[in-house]
Amino acid sequence: MYKTTNRFISAAAIAITVLQFTISSCKSELTYVNPDSGTSKTPVSFSGNVITTRVNGSNWEDKDPIGIFMIKTGETLSPLSIADSANNKKYIFSQSNQAIVPATSKDTIYYPAKDKVDFIAYYPYTTRISNFSIPVNVSNQSVQANVDLLYSNNLKNIGLTTESQKLSFEHKLTKLKLVLTRGTGITAEQMQGAIVTIENIPVKGILSLAAGELSVDNTSSTTLTLKTTTSGESAEAIILPGSSLNKTICLTTRSGVKRVYTVKEENWAAKTEYQYTLSVERQIVPTVLEAEITPWTDGGNVTMNQNDKEENANTWDGASYDTSWYNAEGTSFTLHTAAELAGFAHLVNINLITFKNKTINLQANINLGNYNWIPIASASTSSIFEGTFDGNYHTIFGLTFSEQSSDIGIGLFTQNNGIIKNLTVDGNFTVNYTGTKTSAIYGGIAGINTGSIIRCKNYIKINSGETDKAFTMLAIGGICGRNTGGSSMLDCQNYGTINYTTTKMVKGSPLYVGGITAFNQGNTTGCDNNSLISVTGGRTQVGGIAGFCGGGSNIENCTNSGSIQGTTNVDSCFVGGIAGSASTTTGSCLIKSSSNSAAITATGPAFAGIGGGIIGYMKSGTLVGSSAHLMHATVSANSFSGGIAGYFIEKANNAVYLDCDNNGLPLKWIGNNIGKNYNSGAVNESN
């Protein structure tokens, strides 16, 4: 949940109004068991209402989680100041009761019998607290209720009473809202799926609960993708407050039109919402954009200058190729046309040039026209790519593969042995392998990655083919099909849907599907899946980031916000927000600092449909820590379901650590654990 107001405040407004919403304690009987024990039996129960309006409505949302501390009055939050063990107690809003209630009976806070106390509260609740500070990460804007950060410390010197108490919260972050308007020559279709980013902006920080102060980690600066409506009419983000001078906002339409805007005000202030109206024109027209500021707090008008640039995709004819740009002595080459890109593929596939220690720079958007693309570094010619391909943040549109017979790895590249970076691919193709091999591996950027893929995005939609093959193994990934040991993927994003159904894969035939990679044995860091994945058939293993994790797999700082669905009638079905399943006999599979905010569904035969908010099935050697199944996220499975893990084999070097968070459903962390507590089976990392 996050809040704002709907009205604009003029530049002349000087007074700063702190937005706050109120939590009021219900009146109750004063009941003592033993006054000398120091604790009463009068619970601090809360009801809640929002004083000012907010984007998601005027009230709390069901199951919104809040963390509350009760400390000795006048003292600073510390281990010694905690009163009656009221240390980060979890409360949630109950829609049915219209009250804020303890998440469990063990979370109930009772008034002290004699002493007075202070209260500190924050939203959203987390268990990842170190030295009474919580980590803040705004890198995933897909569900803004999970990004917002609220803090309250106004309740002080409170004694046992039946009087209502009010917790007044304030925003600690900054809100940006962008209204995107179409100018002359820009169609509604062109704006659909537009991408809006802010360059070089920090995304991590730490909130001190004791002081209520937010520290920004400026070393975490990266390109932040805003949440944009499907129609491309608006975008928004909740960001860390700080310097905004000369920050760059970039808008790119799916058709390749780019616009770049430069921010001129000095700072984006905390508790403040900034609204900009951006006009996207076909022609370059100098414009001055006025930004209106609305509470969160009052402020004034600011000006943003626009620097426009248009790049139209160069279209391929499906046959021609141009290699005139290449010379054997050169180390850096530039591609501007689709024919030159096809020429690059020809040099690798036919001339067997590896481009080792050489760099290819793409300097324009390319449209392959939905003609059949023969992957670069085709296995059929024993060619390899060992150089650097820098897309320079351009897009290759119209990528498809109508002939799928010669290569086991199918993508823009069959196999990457070098570095591919700063590239977006877009297209639509069906899985319709007709070759003699019994296994196939698909990926938007590369079928197989044995090198590095950095800051790449996939928008390709992958669907089932009309003619199906009885694969013994099939792997489909948004970025790459298989990420091998020692390889890496960094800051990649998938926006392409995957809808695949097969009836010919028999029991024991694995079907691996992942938003980033289907089969992970390398390092996958800072990657996000933002789209639906729906899979049916075989031994289904599907995850928002990886379908399966093997030995040496490391997934860190990744997020899933797309619905993940897996179904099978012939074998097991393992589905997870981050990974479908994991197993290794050597080393370990690590999932760390990752989160799921979407619906996970697993359907299989009896005792075989297993789903988890983070991972579906933990067979052996798998460690899950500092990860979160976020509020409003759900897991549904016909056998076992858990907020963190669906099924956990004990005594197999597996571990779910207690620094994880589960604010979604089900409340139970590990689906097959029979302990009495929601987090039964989880352990401290030191264990």
Cβ neighbours, 10 Å, residue 30:
12
Tell the CATH topology of 173-308: Immunoglobulin-like (2.60.40)
Whether 55 has a pLDDT exceeding 70, the answer reads: no
Could you tell me if 620 and 588 are in contact, meaning their C-beta atoms sit under 8 angstroms apart?
Answer: no
Calculate mean pLDDT across residues 335-345: 97
Banded pLDDT at 23 (limits 50, 70, 90): very low
Tell me which CATH code domain 21-170 carries.
2.60.40.2620
pLDDT in tens, 640-678: 999 999 999 987 889 999 999 999 999 999 999 988 888
pLDDT in tens, 168-213: 888 999 999 999 988 777 888 878 888 899 988 999 999 999 999 9
Query: Regarding predicted confidence, which is higher, 14 or 593?
Result: 593
pLDDT in tens, 416-462: 999 999 999 999 888 876 666 777 899 999 999 999 999 999 999 99
Banded pLDDT at 256 (limits 50, 70, 90): low
Lowest average pLDDT, out of 48-62, 383-397, 480-494, goes to 48-62
Calculate mean pLDDT across residues 151-170: 84
Could you tell me if 647 and 611 are in contact, meaning their C-beta atoms sit under 8 angstroms apart?
Answer: no
Closest CA to 217 of 206, 230, 229: 206
- d(C-alpha 271, C-alpha 503), whole Å: 54
Element (H, E) at 341: helix 338-349
Where do the domains of the chain lie? 21-170, 173-308, 313-437, 464-687
The answer to whether domain 21-170 and domain 173-308 are alike in fold is yes
Calculate mean pLDDT across residues 513-526: 96
The predicted structure's pLDDT at residue 163: 74
Quick one: tokens of 523?
Answer: 């390092």
The predicted structure's pLDDT at residue 288: 41
pLDDT in tens, 66-113: 999 999 999 999 999 999 999 999 988 888 877 778 888 889 999 898
DSSP one-letter code for 621: S
Calculate mean pLDDT across residues 291-312: 44
Q: Which residues pair with 260 in a beta bridge?
A: 250, 307
Could you tell me if 610 and 574 are in contact, meaning their C-beta atoms sit under 8 angstroms apart?
Answer: yes
In SS3 terms, 174-208 reads as EEEEEEEEECCCCCHHHHCCCEEEEEEECCEEEEE
How far is CA 230 from each of CA 22, 224, 227, 314, rounded to the nearest angstrom? 34, 18, 9, 25
Quick one: tokens of 540?
Answer: 């289904």
* Cis peptide bond prior to 375, omega within 30° of 0: no
Calculate mean pLDDT across residues 45-65: 54
% of the chain residues with pLDDT over 70: 84
Calculate mean pLDDT across residues 245-273: 82
The predicted structure's pLDDT at residue 121: 93
The predicted structure's pLDDT at residue 307: 42
The predicted structure's pLDDT at residue 295: 56
Task: Give me the count of residues in the chain.
Answer: 687
Terminal-residue alpha carbon distance, the chain: 35
Place of tokens 């700082």: 557
Whether 351 has a pLDDT exceeding 70, the answer reads: yes
Calculate mean pLDDT across residues 289-298: 50
